[in-house]
């Protein structure tokens, strides 16, 4: 994006790689390479989209950015005192507890004090549209209700860098719209956001800048339209290749 | 995260664990009392009715109750704490929290339960004609050192299981071994030689702690203060070491828990 050089850098990833030894695995003598020399910068107030197919290392990248995992090699430079929080639905719901108790726990695990968490509860109840079910055990919830609770609790956190992992695929069509709207408002403000999705339409409508990763490597970054076009092309090519190999196998 | 926030989170997590556990069973809170009582019943049948404990019935019930009620705190808490990091895998992949939070919450939960169990123990003692005396105040330092022991072992167990799941198989075995070697249903003071007693009390702090419970509650004696303080100091050092280890290797532990 134009003018990036002047904006404040919130987070820098330098040659970040992550691999781990699995106890039992045949790949490369049990070593899995999840990320391979990934470098990019995250600027203040921007909404950065990360696209890629399933299992290419998007979630791992967010975990590294949130400080949950450390890279095997490379560096993550963050600003002092800036908090980054990963927003995912279903932050470990306990089935035997009510929606209210779960919301309380989730809010505190995301860094809220007890007092703050108690203050959020009514808002969470209202936005999630759970009504009386809010007081009932989560094990009685439908999966849509669970994700509504999870999304709403996560939405109310206040952090410097918001790392969003596939949260917008929640609930029915109507709630989905409401969730997307709320997310847009959040992104439009002063919030710095990293948004992960495999839906390129969502990324195109929400993000200022996009990074495309495949097999743990950055394959492209820049303006959304441009990168998404590259991404689509590669998927198309792969499909073609697969088709060809199937045909030749058939022949 | 401030220290205050850390402890308030442990407290809330522990209460939620209790709440979730109580709502799971029909008898709810009653199980807090029923479970240790049933254990005492089982031991009584085996070691007094089938085998001969060499003690009178009532005396043996008190002997078992003091021992089992203390031991059950240790074994349940350490067992729960050991599996806690691995069990919270989902959360660990999402929030960057000190990894000690999970074992500490499990230990806090058991602390709340134990308060009720100690109360039941006092009632049983009174029912059997042992009335509270000033020497019962020794229970404060004894319970405190028990707590330190549980935290130390719980943190070690949680890290071991997180780093290598195979330890999960060994922990129940280790706890059973401790139960048999801590003088739960036999008296550590009535072994065939004095040296054996001293050796056992020296190498197995849990045997010393169970004996201390009985000395104070049943006989009104004071415990061996030097020994108690020594255990307290060693456990505090272990806890400090474990907290440091867990803080330095937080991301390594997260990776081990997730993969």
Contact list in A for residue B93 (CB cut-off 8 A) is 59, 63, 68
The per-residue pLDDT for range B3-17, each reduced to its tens digit, is 888 999 999 999 999
Compute the distance between CA of residue A71 and CA of residue A68 in angstroms, rounded to an integer. Answer: 10
**H helices present in A21-139, as ranges:** 58-65, 99-109, 114-128
Regions of chain B where pLDDT drops below 70: none
With both helix axes pointing from N to C terminus, report the angle between B139-163 and B101-127 in degrees, rounded to the nearest 10: 140
Model pLDDT, residue B231: 96
- The verdict on ipTM greater than 0.90 is no
Which class for A208: exposed (0-12), middle (13-18), buried (19 or more C-beta within 10 A)? Answer: middle
Chain A contacts of B97, Cβ < 8 Å? 109
Rounded Cα gap, residues A8 and B131, in angstroms: 71
Which alpha helices (H) appear in B164-224, and where do they start and end?
167-181, 194-203, 205-219
User: Across the beta sheet with A84-87, what order do the strands follow?
Assistant: A84-87, A161-165, A192-197, A47-51, A209-214, A217-222
Return d(Cα B230, Cα B56) in angstroms, integer.
34
pLDDT tens by residue, B67-96:
999 999 999 999 999 999 999 888 888 888
DSSP state of B50: I
- Under 8 Å CB-to-CB from B131, ≥6 apart: which residues? B125
Q: Does B9 touch chain A (CB under 8 A)?
A: yes
Of A180, A212, A178, A216, nearest to A196 by C-alpha is A212
pLDDT at residue A88, rounded to an integer: 67
Q: Which residues of B touch A59 (CB under 8 A)?
A: 93
CA atoms within 13 A on the CB side of B1: 22
Per-residue pLDDT of chain A (251 residues; tens, 9 = 90+): 445 556 788 889 999 999 887 665 555 567 778 898 899 999 888 889 998 887 788 888 888 988 889 999 999 988 777 777 777 665 567 888 899 998 888 888 888 888 988 988 998 899 888 899 999 998 898 878 887 888 888 777 667 788 887 766 666 778 878 888 888 887 777 788 888 887 778 788 888 899 998 888 898 889 988 998 988 888 888 888 888 888 877 66
CA distance A108 to chain B (A): 7
Residue from the list A69, A86, A94 with its beta carbon closest to the beta carbon of B255: A69
What is the rounded CA–CA span in Å between residue B241 and residue B7?
19
Cβ separation of A96 and B95 shorter than 8 Å? no
Q: Which of B21, B24, B254 sits opposite A69 (nearest CB)?
A: B254
Q: Is B249 on the interface with A (CB under 8 A)?
A: no
Strand pairing category for A9-21 and A192-197: unpaired
CB pairs under 8 A between A and B: 69
Beta pairing class for A47-51 and A192-197: parallel
Q: How far is B47 from chain A, CA to nearest CA, in Å? A: 38
Query: In this predicted structure, what is the pLDDT of residue A23?
Result: 61
| pLDDT given at position A57 | 84
Residue A205 and residue A188 in contact, taking contact as beta carbons nearer than 8 Å: no
């Amino acid at each position: 994006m134009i003018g990036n050089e002047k904006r404040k850098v919130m987070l820098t990833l330098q040659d970040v790689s992550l691999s781990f030894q699995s106890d039992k695995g045949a790949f490369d003598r049990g070593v899995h390479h999840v990320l391979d020399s990934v470098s990019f910068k995250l600027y203040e107030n921007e909404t950065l989209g990360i696209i890629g197919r399933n299992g290419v290392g998007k979630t791992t990248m967010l975990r590294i950015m949130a400080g949950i995992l450390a890279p095997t090699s490379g560096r993550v430079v963050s600003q002092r005192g800036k908090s980054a929080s990963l927003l995912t639905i279903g932050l470990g719901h306990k089935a035997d507890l009510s929606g209210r108790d779960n919301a309380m726990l989730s809010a505190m695990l995301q860094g809220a004090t007890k007092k703050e968490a108690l203050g959020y509860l009514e808002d969470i109840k209202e936005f999630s549209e759970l009504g009386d079910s809010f007081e009932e055990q989560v094990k009685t919830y439908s999966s849509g209700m669970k994700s509504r609770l999870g999304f709403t609790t996560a939405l109310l956190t206040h952090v410097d860098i918001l790392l969003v992992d596939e949260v917008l695929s929640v609930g029915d069509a109507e709630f989905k719209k409401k969730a997307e709207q709320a997310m847009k408002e959040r992104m439009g403000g002063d919030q710095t956001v990293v948004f992960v999705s495999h839906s390129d339409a969502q990324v195109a409508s929400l993000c200022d800048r996009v990074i495309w990763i495949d097999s743990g490597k950055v394959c492209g970054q820049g303006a959304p339209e441009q990168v998404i076009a590259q991404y689509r092309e590669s998927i198309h090519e792969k499909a073609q290749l697969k088709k060809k190999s199937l045909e030749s196998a058939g022949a | 995260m401030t220290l205050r926030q850390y402890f308030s989170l442990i407290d809330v997590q522990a209460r939620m664990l209790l709440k979730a556990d109580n709502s799971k069973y029909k008898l709810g809170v009653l199980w807090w009392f029923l479970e240790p009582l049933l254990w005492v019943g089982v031991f009584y049948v085996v070691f007094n009715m089938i085998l001969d404990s060499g003690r009178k019935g009532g005396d043996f019930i008190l002997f078992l109750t003091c021992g089992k009620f203390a031991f059950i705190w240790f074994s349940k808490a350490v067992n729960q704490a050991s599996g806690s990091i691995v069990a919270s895998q989902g959360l660990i992949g999402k929030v960057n929290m000190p990894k000690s939070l999970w074992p500490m919450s499990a230990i806090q939960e058991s602390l709340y339960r134990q308060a009720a169990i100690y109360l039941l123990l006092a009632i049983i003692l009174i029912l059997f004609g042992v009335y509270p005396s000033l020497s019962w105040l020794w229970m404060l330092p004894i319970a405190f050192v028990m707590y330190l022991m549980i935290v130390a072992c719980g943190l070690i167990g949680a890290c071991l299981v997180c780093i290598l799941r195979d330890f999960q198989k060994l922990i129940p075995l280790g706890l059973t071994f401790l139960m048999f070697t801590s003088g739960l249903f036999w008296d550590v003071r009535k072994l065939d030689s004095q040296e054996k007693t001293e050796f056992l009390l020296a190498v197995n702090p849990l045997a010393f702690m169970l004996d201390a419970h009985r000395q104070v509650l049943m006989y009104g004696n004071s415990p061996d203060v030097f020994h108690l303080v020594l255990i307290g100091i060693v456990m505090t050092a272990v806890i400090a070491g474990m907290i440091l280890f867990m803080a330095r290797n937080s991301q390594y532990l997260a990776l081990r828990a997730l993969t």
